Amino acid sequence: MRLNLPIRFCAASLIMVVGCANLMTKQAIERFSTGLQEQDLDRLREYSSQDFETRALRTAGATQDLKILKVPTGKLKIDSVETVDDHVRKVVVKVGEKEQQRTLEYRLTRDRRTAQWVVDDVTLDPRPDGESPPSIAEQMDLLLSAREFLDEWRGEDRDAKLARCTEDFRGVLETLPPKWMDRLMQQTMGDGRPRTARPEARINGD
């Protein structure tokens, strides 16, 4: 009987450690999800990795563009947790009621400064065959790049506009007289109102 006590103690300790780790994982996801629901950019940045913030939350209007992606929020249930290594976890989450339930895969990383788990990326409706749709970070990076491109082209800085173009396209535009290029910009950008353009997040191949 006495020999079993250390084993039972170790088993109980292990269960407590795993339970605590899973609780911290769920809390990180819930806090991030609340930030999404409330469109709270500061909260989202607080519970995101530096990489996710740079790719998906780098502009003041990022929460408005996140709405385009329709990331489900609300009551969630953790379906599985995969420990990739000591600093990375993949967590599959179910959100919503059974009739309209969605599956999300959260990639969490441990912040090396605070030791807290933070969101590094999110994938909607991941597929087991590896052919999952582009992640939220990938789609937001594309959306925000499109916004930044449009903002540059609405500006007055010719060099900044050309810097947003491919080498071949830039070579063509550089040959245009300033008045011709300004006219092209006007025809391309329309009325110039920055938030009237509503990009659709779509990534084909690479």
Cα 91 off chain centre by: 15
Total domain count, the chain = 2
Rounded Cα distance between 35 and 42, Å, is 8
- The CB density around residue 190, as the number of other CB atoms within 10 Å, is 10
Backbone phi and psi for residue 57, each to the nearest 5 degrees, phi listed first: -130, 25
Q: Point out the domain boundary residue: 73, 103, 135.
A: 135
Note whether 93 and 128 are same-domain residues.
Answer: yes
Task: Give the residue among 57, 205, 82 at the shortest CA–CA distance from 136.
Answer: 57
DSSP string, the chain: -TTHHHHHHHHHHHHHHHHHHHHHHHHHHHHHHHHHHHT-HHHHHHTB-HHHHHHHS-STTHHHHHHHHT---SSEEEEEEEEEETTEEEEEEEES-GGG-EEEEEEEEE-TTT--EEEEEEEES--TTS-PPPPHHHHHHHHHHHHHHHHHHHSS-HHHHHHTS-HHHHHHHTTS-HHHHHHHHHHHHTT--TTT----------
Q: Do 121 and 101 share a domain, yes or no?
A: yes
Tell me: do 118 and 144 sit in the same domain: no
pLDDT per residue of the chain (206 residues) written in tens, 0 to 9: 454 555 554 444 434 334 455 778 889 999 999 999 999 999 999 999 999 999 999 999 999 999 999 898 888 889 999 989 989 999 999 998 877 889 999 999 999 888 899 999 999 998 877 778 899 999 999 999 888 888 888 877 888 888 888 889 888 888 988 888 888 877 777 655 555 455 555 555 54
Looking at the fold, whether 56 and 148 belong to one and the same domain comes out as no
Contacts of 185 (CB under 8 A, 6+ apart): 153, 154, 161
Q: Supply the CATH number for residue 47's domain.
A: 3.10.450.50
- In-domain check, residue 61: yes
Q: Is the domain of 125 the same as that of 159?
A: no
Please indicate, yes or no, if residue 195 is contained in any of the structural domains: no
How far is it, in rounded angstroms, from Cα 158 to Cα 33?
Answer: 40
- Residues 164 and 77 occupy one common structural domain: no
Domain of residue 168, residue span: 140-189
What is the pLDDT, as a whole number, of residue 201? Answer: 54
